[in-house]
Amino acid sequence: MLEKLKLLGYLVAIEHTIFSGMFILIALVVAGLQAHLGFVEGVQTLFLCALALLFARNFAMGFNRLADRKFDIKNERTKNRPSVDGRISLTTLRVFCVANALGFVGVSYAINALAFKLSLPFLAILAGYSYMKRFSYLAHLVLGVCLGLAPIAGVVAVLGTIPLWSLWLALGVAFWVAGFDLLYSLQDMEFDKQEGLYSVPAIFGAQTTLWVSRACHILAVLFWALFAKSAHLGGVAWLGVGVCLMILIYEQWLVLKDFRNIPKAFFVTNGYLGVVFLGFIVVDRGLAWI
């Protein structure tokens, strides 16, 4: 059982929860101070949101591996995944998806009424992404929307509403994710062409993909600036937006220099971005609270 859990954790790349996890924390910090949450209530909300994020992401990744299994078998980059080589059975993967979906709905119910009402639509969006590349090159943006739901979920958990600033934050996440997913998909450009999949690299080529990715990252920074303005954040938060811009420029430079840098740009640079941005927001809100 322990070995199966390890394999499932590897399959869904559980450590990459940090990408969306940092932004749900940003939403919790800003919303928590606006709502004047007490310590105990804040810890309880944080715990429930962390559980919801874990269940939602596990469901999304597990479902994606189920839906894409026939492609993963053929792809040289993915043919050794546990869901393909037999280490994880289809039955186990299906049970894993159902269990995490039920867990997400249950935790959403425990958070508040709005979170519960949104839980099934959220799951539908997460599942729908897995089929987008079969008929639309907007799949990259849909993936961005999936991760952009994280800060929305965080603010719903605290405020029970969706303020404008949280939409700007979520849109920033959506275009940030779409931008780095475009870069990551360059690795499968030829495979996607062979299989008739609608990724941007397969349809429009590598150079166009690079330009679209840059445009997405510019939009991400602009939306995060709107988030800082709409949430009435201070100078430290604005400095954080500027640092995020520098990180994204570095990411784009890495890939432009050599496509072999894509894994480094994807896994390392993007992991730092969320942590760094959260740090600036925490300091900014801490100074405002003092």
CATH hierarchy code of domain 2-289: 1.10.357.140
pLDDT at residue 118 tops 90: yes
DSSP 207-228: HHHHHHHHHHHHHHHHHHHHHH
Distance of CA 85 to the CA centre of its chain: 27
pLDDT at residue 290 tops 70: no
Three-state SS across 58-107?
HHHHHHHHHHCHHHHHHCCCCCCCHHHHCCCCHHHHHHHHHHHHHHHHHH
pLDDT at residue 268 tops 70: yes
What pLDDT is stored for residue 84 in this prediction?
Answer: 84
Distance CA 107, CA 119 (A): 9
Query: How does residue 86 score in pLDDT terms, banded at 50, 70 and 90?
Result: confident
Mean pLDDT of 36-46: 84
Listed range (15-24, 142-151, 159-168, 196-205) with the worst mean pLDDT: 15-24
Distance CA 3, CA 92 (A): 13
Q: Which of the 8 DSSP states describes residue 261? A: G
Maximum C-alpha span of the chain: 58
For 175, the token pair is 């275009």
Listed range (171-185, 195-209, 233-247, 263-277) with the worst mean pLDDT: 263-277
pTM of the shown model? 0.91
Between residues 252 and 87, the one the model is more confident about: 252
Whole-number Cα distances in Å, 197 to 132, 143, 201, 207, 262: 9, 15, 10, 18, 20
For 270, the token pair is 């993007």
What pLDDT is stored for residue 177 in this prediction?
Answer: 94
Mean pLDDT of 278-287: 94
Beta carbons of 174 and 145 less than 8 angstroms apart: yes
What pLDDT is stored for residue 39 in this prediction?
Answer: 75
For 148, the token pair is 């952009």
